[in-house]
Structure 1
């Protein structure tokens, strides 16, 4: 596959890719020879869904272990 071949998906600014790559390399998650296979925007979790998950987790009995 060509290096500059665009893969289907949303357009990503090259400066954003460079910043993400630099941050991953600085944190030690990206080493020489490894490559990034995809970048996509993160999605915010729905507030109602998050509240439901919290309610379920708070209702679990932990002392039974």
Structure 2
């Protein structure tokens, strides 16, 4: 059996989260809204809340 460590990293910056973590868990009002691989969730958001977060974090406004 392999011993490991786990870390809880809390951030509102999805760009940093995507760069540093393998998995992401997005919460809204204290409940899990969406979770999955950190690279996949921003590319294919499944909930309206996650879609809004991704749009705010990654969309370039001219």
Give the TM-score, by structure 2 length. 0.22
Question: Radius of gyration: which is bigger?
Answer: 1
Larger relative strand fraction: 2
Larger RCO, structures 1/2 (Cα 8 Å, 6+ apart): 1
Give the TM-score, by structure 1 length. 0.21
Larger relative helix fraction: 1
